């Protein structure tokens, strides 16, 4: 949906070039972009080791980087009204980037993702097509539905592992499927906590997010249940004899950080969702360490 009236879309165009550039960089959420690229690389690495199809791995990582940046930018474009309540400091509501600039930037990034994805094996291309459609549709069609938006973001985040594995023709590697599940469940939980954090703006906008429909405590209870499943499942790569003690040494603290954050989310969802992200990043390091220092036993 192209930008609306001239007056709205020109808001932010009075910013200096430096403010706009800083705003555009902030719009893509560079931390998420880098992390998502690392997840895709990790999927390739876990599935086929360090030197399998370098050009395909690079194209998959770049497609993920472009797609994640595009998804964040178009999300802020569609959320520009809600974010005047929930996130007034974000680039569009604070006027650093105009809605028109944000929309055009997201289109350019989506095109970059497509250019990279079309060079990949067909299964990876299929994942990219599904993800790009989901990213565009998320805010308009999924975000306002109870738990559906959270599941979509969980799938998208977990799918990076599948995407990386598909780039090296190993989409359904059992260990990659486990990482997909862990990332999807943990991200689902964090999205529920973020919905509790965003309750005021989401209610103003008439969204039916999970906490609005079932109440904050029940919604957080659903999030905790999903995280408990993920934490228990995170033992699988070690118990299965694929990842060694290096994995355990990092994933156990990561699990603890995330479980403690879940408990804290009932009192302080803002702090909890940030702590959940820290735990998830530590878990990503656990996956990489686990693959680097494989268990001396049989590789599953
Ligand atoms: C139990 C266990 C071991 C779980 C592991 C979970 C795991 C490795 C998750 C990966 C999380 C991660 C590093 C994601 C990359 C960044 C990304 C694309 C996140 C998607 O975030 C969407 C979110 O709504 C953006 O909000 P914000 O982070 O506040 O900007
Ligand atoms: C592998 C390929 C080709 C794509 C994957 C792309 C990835 C990793 C997507 C991860 C999830 C993501 C970046 C979603 C973008 C939309 C978004 C920011 C959802 C959450 O937005 P809101 O629910 O509005 O919450 P906030 O804006 O407050 O964060
Ligand atoms: Mg948003």
Predicted-complex ipTM score: 0.95
Position 6 scores a pLDDT of: 46
What are 8-17's pLDDT values in tens digits?
556 666 678 8
Exposed e or buried b per residue across 83-92, where buried means at least 16 C-beta atoms within 10 angstroms of its C-beta? beebbeebbb
pLDDT at 123 over 90: yes
Does ligand 1 come within 6 angstroms of the Cβ of 274?
no
The β-bridge partners of 163 are none
Beta strands in 123-178 (DSSP E): none
Does ligand 2 come within 6 angstroms of the Cβ of 156?
yes
Average pLDDT, whole number, for the chain?
A: 92
Average pLDDT over residues 271-298: 88
Q: How far does residue 248's CA lie from ligand 2's centre (Å)?
A: 28
Position 164 scores a pLDDT of: 97
The model's confidence at residue 295, banded by pLDDT at 50, 70 and 90, is low
Q: How far does residue 93's CA lie from ligand 3's centre (Å)?
A: 12
Spell out the residues 6+ positions from residue 14 whose beta carbon is closer than 8 angstroms to its own: 95
CB 209 within 8 A of CB 149: yes
Among candidates 216, 209, 220, 210, which has minimal Cα distance to 262? 220
Q: Which residues surround ligand 3, an ion (CB under 5 A)?
A: 75, 79
pLDDT at 235 over 60: yes
Among candidates 210, 188, 198, 183, which has minimal Cα distance to 262? 188
What are 137-186's pLDDT values in tens digits?
998 899 989 999 999 999 999 999 999 999 999 989 999 999 999 999 99
pLDDT at 55 over 50: yes
Closest protein CA for atom 18 of ligand 2: 72
Which of 30, 56, 156 for a ligand 2 pocket mutation test, highest count of atoms within 8 Å of Cβ? Answer: 156
How many other C-beta atoms are found inside a 10 Å radius of the C-beta of residue 1? 9
Closest protein CA for atom 24 of ligand 2: 75
Atom of ligand 2 nearest to the CA of 153: 11
Task: Describe the crossing of helices 30-48 and 54-78 by its angle, rounded to 10 degrees.
Answer: 150
Closest protein CA for atom 16 of ligand 1: 32
Position 8 scores a pLDDT of: 58
Global pTM reads 0.93
Angle among Cα 55, 56, 58 to the nearest 5 degrees reads: 65
Does ligand 1 come within 6 angstroms of the Cβ of 284?
yes
The model's confidence at residue 209, banded by pLDDT at 50, 70 and 90, is very high
Does ligand 2 come within 6 angstroms of the Cβ of 189?
no
Q: Is 114 exposed, middle or buried (0-12, 13-18, 19+ CB in 10 A)?
A: middle
Domains annotated for the chain, with CATH where assigned, are 15-292 (1.10.357.140)
Position 18 scores a pLDDT of: 85
Does ligand 1 come within 6 angstroms of the Cβ of 74?
no
pLDDT at 136 over 50: yes
Which of 38, 61, 138, 161 for a ligand 2 pocket mutation test, highest count of atoms within 8 Å of Cβ? Answer: 138
pLDDT at 80 over 60: yes
Average pLDDT over residues 182-198: 97
Closest protein CA for atom 13 of ligand 1: 281
Per DSSP, the residues of 196-244 read HHTHHHHHHTT---HHHHH-HHHHHHHHHHHHHHHHHHTTHHHHTTSB-
Does ligand 1 come within 6 angstroms of the Cβ of 151?
no
Does ligand 1 come within 6 angstroms of the Cβ of 124?
no
Average pLDDT over residues 289-293: 88
Average pLDDT over residues 273-282: 97
């Amino acid at each position: 949906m192209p930008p609306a009236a001239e007056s709205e879309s020109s808001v932010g165009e009075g910013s200096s070039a430096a403010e706009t550039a800083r705003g555009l960089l902030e719009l893509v959420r560079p931390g998420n972009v880098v992390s998502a690229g690392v997840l895709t690389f990790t999927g390739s690495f876990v599935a086929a080791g360090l030197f399998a199809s370098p050009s395909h791995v690079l194209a998959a990582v770049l497609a993920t980087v472009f797609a994640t940046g595009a998804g964040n930018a178009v999300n802020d474009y569609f959320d520009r009204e809600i974010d005047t309540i929930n996130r007034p400091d974000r680039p569009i509501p604070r006027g650093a980037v105009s809605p028109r600039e944000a929309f055009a930037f997201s289109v350019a990034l989506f095109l970059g993702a497509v250019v990279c994805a079309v060079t990949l094996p067909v299964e990876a291309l299929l994942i990219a097509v599904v993800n790009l459609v989901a990213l565009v549709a998320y805010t308009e069609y999924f975000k306002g539905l109870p738990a559906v938006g959270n599941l979509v973001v969980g799938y998208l985040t977990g799918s990076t592992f599948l995407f990386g594995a598909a780039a090296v023709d190993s989409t359904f590697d059992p260990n990659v499927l486990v990482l997909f599940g862990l990332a999807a469940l943990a991200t689902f939980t964090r999205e529920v906590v973020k919905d509790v954090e965003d309750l005021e703006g989401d209610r103003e906008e008439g969204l039916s997010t999970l906490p609005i429909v079932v109440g904050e405590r029940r919604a957080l209870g659903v999030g905790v249940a999903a995280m408990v499943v993920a934490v228990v499942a995170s033992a699988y790569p070690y118990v299965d004899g694929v990842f060694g003690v290096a994995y355990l040494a990092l994933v156990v603290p990561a699990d603890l950080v995330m479980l403690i954050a879940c408990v804290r989310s009932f009192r302080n969802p803002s702090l909890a969702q940030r702590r959940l992200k820290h735990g998830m990043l530590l878990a990503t390091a656990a996956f990489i360490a686990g693959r680097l220092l494989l268990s001396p036993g049989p590789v599953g």
